[in-house]
Structure 1
Amino acid sequence: MGTLLILVVCFGAAIAAYTISSIIHLLYNIREVRKSGLPYIILPWHEMNLFHVLTCGFNRDLWQYLPQWTYFKIFWRDWCHHTKFELFEKYGDVICAVSPGGVTIYVGSVEVARQMYERRNDFPKATKVYEYVRFYGDNVLTLEGAEWRRHSRYTHPPFNEGVHKVVWDEGVKQARAAVNVWSRQNSCLNIGRDLRTISMNVLSLSNFGVAMPFDYESETTEHFGWRNIPPGHKMSYGSTVNHVLDNIIPLAIAPKWLLRNGPESLKRIGQSYDELGIYLKELTQDDGKSGASDGGNLLRALVKASAGDGPGKGSRLTDAEVFGNAFIFAVAGLETTTGTLHYAIMYLALNPDVQDWLYTDLQEALKDEDQDPSKWEYGKVYPKMASVLCVIHETLRLNAPHMHIPKWTAGKYQPVNWKGKQCLIPPGASAYITTTALHYNPSLWGDTVNGFHPQKWDLRSSSEGWVRTDPKTGVKTPITPSETPRIGTQSAPYCYLRTPVKGAFAPFSDGWRACVGKNFALVEMAAVLAVLFRDCSVRIKRQEGETQGMADNRGKSAISNSKSYLTVMIRHDVELEWIRR
């Protein structure tokens, strides 16, 4: 009894000490934020503390039964995705969340975001956020400063026009195979899985020199495939990558010894981790020799880097760094492209008028091209894909793969200009440029900010573009940037697209750390969507007893209930019906 009493007293003392410490830290952080002059809200715990992580899977459902205060929404999982600009409209376009654990700045102001992009040394990338993708070694995503520049010297050059041509050709090939399979089935039940297959196959060929078929039934006994398990392996390459992607959270937080020795379900996850490491090692040993362009591919560049050859002579990459970069380009790029294609197809299925506009423009753009898409030349056809790029850009605006671009203030106060005054952001503060807030800010995108309107991107149309109506006076004002529009090039026909206000649109990040694979992804998605919608239309397939409106509501629900793991994606498929025009 005495021992139990001592334990209770010790436990109570520990709780009291923790509470007092938390209050002291909270008061200190409030004082720091007050000095900054920025608006703030108080959180009882840090957003990423253990309680939040453990409850974030169901807390949106839990808090909906509490009073409908806007404040509660910041505790939802993926709150930025679900609330869009709502919290920023209430609290200000820069929000300081103050907790005992620190200060977190959420930036929905294009004025402040631009300063953070331009001042890369004052607001370095918060690489600790990406520790979960450091599975096999450091890579271009997990590093900053001189180390990032060293990795960048090897990973940037392979993303060139030679590789983009391979991406275009393979994207067209994979999309044609998908249309044939879906036509046989008269529907697509697992659109998310099938789009991941397309994206993985494009990445495998263009970056690693590995050709893989879309149709599993046509697969040969190639070493890297979807079904075949080669000697020395326990899982196929395709199954391995899929299993790693589906279990990215347990892989990030669970120790590897537990994954290898725990229950069967965990052993399977550990096995996929080990298997992918073996496959990456085999790919690097093969040297990417079947790669697809005169300029080589990513894997060949990484192998040269490991030998101390190439543009960074004298600063070779270790084997672990080669594997780390191979992993990040094999997996991270796959999820973002897959998710964007999924959203684009769903939005088109829910907006038949936009489908008709896209179809009409594609017919005009391709009228002089061969009826066989496999003969479409990248350099000739891609520059005509303005309407497809409009669809992609509007999809990325509505559903950027990443809700935040993470930065921090390092070890000193950082001044920023905000609404005509200078504000000091405290040392050690996390600063998240919130892409969802920027993408849904009506002062940047106009009154139709919540709708899917890709035509607004098209400079060739008679559309008035983005227009903002003053809520007090009712006066309509066109939203146009002060910068000169981009000049289109052969590989990026942006001259046909409206240019948003600088800093307002950042699905691929911005500034020095913008995504190196941006054009790679745009070319791939344009190829796939052009093939799919040149001859086909799509709609949500009705279930028995449903009207089309009821089916569409299921599609809208799937979009609104998207969740973020590695990226924000639709996690629940709805069956689609593809119809030949």
Structure 2
Amino acid sequence: MGTLLALAICLGAVTTAYAISSIIHLLYNIREVRKSGLPYIILPWHEMNPFHVLTCGFNRELWQYLPKWTYFKFFWRDWCHHTKFELFKEYGDVICAVSPGGVTIYVGSVEVARQMYERRNDFPKATKVYEYVRFYGDNVLTLEGAEWRRHNKYTRPPFSEAVHKVVWDEGIKQAYAAVNVWSRGNSGVMVGRDLRTISMNVLSLSNFGVALSFDCGNETTEHFGQKNIPPGHKMSYGNAVNHVLDNIIPLAIAPKWLLRNGPESLRKIGRSYDELGIYLRELTQTGGRAATSGRRNLLGSLAKASVGDGREKGPGLADAEVIGNAFIFAVAGLETTTGTLHYAIIHLALNLDVQDWLHRDLQEALKDEDQDPSMWEYEKVYPKMASVLCVIHETLRLYAPHAHIPKWTADRYQPVNWRGRECLMPPGASAYITTTALHYNPSLWGDTVKGFHPQRWDLRSSSEGWVRTDQETGVKTPITPPETPRTETQSAPYCYLRTPVKGAFAPFSDGWRACVGKNFALVEMTAILAALFRDSSVRIKRQEGETQEMADDRGRSAISNSEGYLTVMIRHDVELEWVRR
């Protein structure tokens, strides 16, 4: 009895001390935010508080039973993805969330976002957010400052026009093989996992020189593939990649000894982690099992990095850093590309008028090209793919892979101009540029901001462009410049696309730390969609007893129930029906 009483007293003392400490920290943080001149809200269970972590997974499902108070939505785990611009419209386009754990600033103001992009030293990248992708070693995504520059030196050069040509050719090859499989008979197919396979195969060849076939049943690759399990391995390369991506959260938070000695479900996760690490080491040590026609790729650059440039030019990368970067480029672009393609295809299935517009434009652009897609030359055909780029950009606007671009204010107050006055962001504050808020702001994109309208990007169309209509006066105000200047890169078809307000569109981030693989991803997605929709159409497959409208409702539900983990993706796939035109 005495022991229980002592434990109760100790527990009460600890709880009281924690509560007092939390109140003190909260009051201090409120005082700091008040100095800034920015509006703020108090979120007592924010900043990874245990209560928030335990409840955020299911509180959105409880919404129907709670008072309809918008404030509660801040406690959803992925609230920015689900609420879009709603909370910024109510609380302001810059929201300071104050909790005992610190100050978190969510930026939905294009004015403030531009300043944060331009002042890279004042608003460095919050690398702590990316701890979950450094379990093989530090890499270009998890570092900042001088260390980032050292990694960037070796990982940026491979993303060149020569590699983009490999990406183009392989993307077309993989997509054409896929649509031939999908359009067989009248069967429905869920394309989500197949799109990941296509993207993984493109990355494998362009980055590592390893050619993989979409048709797993005809694999001839000696060492890598979806099904092949070579000597010394317990899983195929494809299965290891897929299982790591499917279980990125347990891998990030569970200790490795538990993953290797726990229940079978955890041991399988541990095996996939170990197996992928072995594959990546084999790739970097042997130089790959195939070569991309002598072109320089990421694998060659990492091999050079492991040796270094000599004492005069600076150090190279340690073995763990080489593996860490190989992992990032093997999987980081995989989920973002897969997710964007998945959203684009389902939206096209739900919007047959847009699909017909895309098909007509492709027919016009490709009328002088060979009927065999494998003969489409990158330098000649890619510049004519403006309509495909419109579809991709609109998809990225609606479903940016990441809801936030994480930055922080370092160790000092950071002044920003907001609504005509100077405000001070407090030191040590997390500062997230919220892409979903910027992408859904009607003042930047017009009244149709929530709809899927790829034609809004097309300068060749007769539409009036992006406008905002004043609800009281009915006056329409143009949002974007009437013309877009031609880019220096002749192979890019951006001369036919409208340019958003600077800072308003950032699916690949922006500024100094913009994604190095942006053009790589755009070329890959363009090649895949062009090959898929040149001669085929797609719709949501009806189940027995369904009308097409009922089937489309399931497709819309799959999109609306998307969730963000590593990236924002469709988690509950629907069957699609592919038909040759």
Q: TM-score, normalised by structure 1?
A: 0.98
Structure 1 distance, partners of 2:471, 2:3, is 68
CA displacement at 1:16 relative to structure 2: 1.1
Structure 2 distance, partners of 1:411, 1:482, is 42
CA shift digits 1:232-254 (9 cap, x unpaired): 00000000000000000000000
In structure 2, the residue matched to 1:78 is: 78
Identity among equivalent positions (%) equals 85
Structure 1 distance, partners of 2:512, 2:349, is 36
In structure 2, the residue matched to 1:425 is: 425
Structure 2 distance, partners of 1:202, 1:69, is 46
In structure 1, the residue matched to 2:523 is: 523
CA displacement at 1:294 relative to structure 2: 4.5
CA RMSD of aligned residues (A): 1.5
Indicate yes or no: 2:229 matched with 1:259. no
In structure 2, the residue matched to 1:122 is: 122
In structure 2, the residue matched to 1:359 is: 359
CA displacement at 1:103 relative to structure 2: 0.3
CA displacement at 1:56 relative to structure 2: 2.3
Structure 2 distance, partners of 1:215, 1:255, is 36
8 Å CA contact 1:153–1:312 kept in 2: the answer is: no
Q: TM-score, normalised by structure 2?
A: 0.98
Q: Counterpart of 2:62 in 1: which secondary structure?
A: helix
Structure 2 distance, partners of 1:382, 1:535, is 17
In structure 1, the residue matched to 2:379 is: 379
Structure 2 distance, partners of 1:167, 1:125, is 29
8 Å CA contact 1:96–1:104 kept in 2: the answer is: yes
Structure 1 distance, partners of 2:329, 2:491, is 21
In structure 2, the residue matched to 1:234 is: 234
Which residue identity does 1:447 align to in structure 2?
D
8 Å CA contact 1:488–1:496 kept in 2: the answer is: no
| Count, aligned residues | 581
In structure 2, the residue matched to 1:447 is: 447
Structure 1 distance, partners of 2:54, 2:538, is 39
Match runs of 1:267-286 below 5 Å: 267-286=267-286
Q: Counterpart of 2:577 in 1: which secondary structure?
A: strand
In structure 1, the residue matched to 2:535 is: 535
Indicate yes or no: 2:329 matched with 1:329. yes
In structure 2, the residue matched to 1:21 is: 21
Q: Counterpart of 1:60 in 2: which secondary structure?
A: coil
In structure 1, the residue matched to 2:463 is: 463
Where in structure 1 do 4 or more consecutive aligned residues deviate above 4 Å? Answer: 481-484
Structure 2 distance, partners of 1:289, 1:164, is 20
Structure 2 distance, partners of 1:290, 1:100, is 54
8 Å CA contact 1:162–1:293 kept in 2: the answer is: no
CA shift digits 1:471-527 (9 cap, x unpaired): 221111111149963526333111100000000000000000000000000000000
CA shift digits 1:429-451 (9 cap, x unpaired): 00000000000000000000000
Rate the CA distance shift 1:526–1:400 in 2: closer, same or farther, 3 A: same
8 Å CA contact 1:153–1:311 kept in 2: the answer is: no
8 Å CA contact 1:47–1:75 kept in 2: the answer is: no
In structure 2, the residue matched to 1:223 is: 223
In structure 2, the residue matched to 1:134 is: 134
In structure 2, the residue matched to 1:415 is: 415
Q: Counterpart of 1:542 in 2: which secondary structure?
A: coil
8 Å CA contact 1:40–1:98 kept in 2: the answer is: yes
8 Å CA contact 2:212–2:221 kept in 1: the answer is: no
Q: Counterpart of 1:433 in 2: which secondary structure?
A: strand
8 Å CA contact 2:390–2:458 kept in 1: the answer is: yes
8 Å CA contact 2:46–2:75 kept in 1: the answer is: no
Structure 2 distance, partners of 1:481, 1:119, is 25
Structure 1 unmatched ranges of 5 or more: none
CA displacement at 1:291 relative to structure 2: 3.1
Indicate yes or no: 2:177 matched with 1:180. no
Indicate yes or no: 2:471 matched with 1:475. no
CA displacement at 1:327 relative to structure 2: 0.1
My pick for the range that moved more, 43-52 or 378-387, is: 43-52
Structure 2 distance, partners of 1:576, 1:552, is 10
CA displacement at 1:185 relative to structure 2: 4.9
Q: Counterpart of 2:61 in 1: which secondary structure?
A: helix
8 Å CA contact 2:340–2:396 kept in 1: the answer is: yes
CA shift digits 1:308-354 (9 cap, x unpaired): 14999431100100000000000111000000000000110010000
In structure 2, the residue matched to 1:551 is: 551
In structure 2, the residue matched to 1:109 is: 109
CA displacement at 1:383 relative to structure 2: 0.4
Structure 1 distance, partners of 2:311, 2:457, is 38
CA shift digits 1:419-473 (9 cap, x unpaired): 0000000010000000000000000000000000000100011111111001221
In structure 2, the residue matched to 1:509 is: 509
CA displacement at 1:53 relative to structure 2: 2.3
Q: Counterpart of 1:143 in 2: which secondary structure?
A: coil
8 Å CA contact 2:95–2:105 kept in 1: the answer is: yes
CA shift digits 1:366-396 (9 cap, x unpaired): 0000000000000000000000000000000
CA displacement at 1:295 relative to structure 2: 4.0
CA displacement at 1:46 relative to structure 2: 2.0
Which residue identity does 1:403 align to in structure 2?
A
Structure 1 distance, partners of 2:120, 2:293, is 33
Structure 1 distance, partners of 2:96, 2:474, is 32
CA displacement at 1:25 relative to structure 2: 0.8
CA displacement at 1:290 relative to structure 2: 2.6
Structure 2 distance, partners of 1:72, 1:485, is 45
Structure 1 distance, partners of 2:312, 2:82, is 43
Q: Counterpart of 1:184 in 2: which secondary structure?
A: coil
Which residue identity does 1:75 align to in structure 2?
F
CA shift digits 1:253-275 (9 cap, x unpaired): 00001100111110000000000
Rate the CA distance shift 1:407–1:221 in 2: closer, same or farther, 3 A: closer
8 Å CA contact 1:289–1:300 kept in 2: the answer is: no
In structure 2, the residue matched to 1:489 is: 489
Indicate yes or no: 2:3 matched with 1:8. no
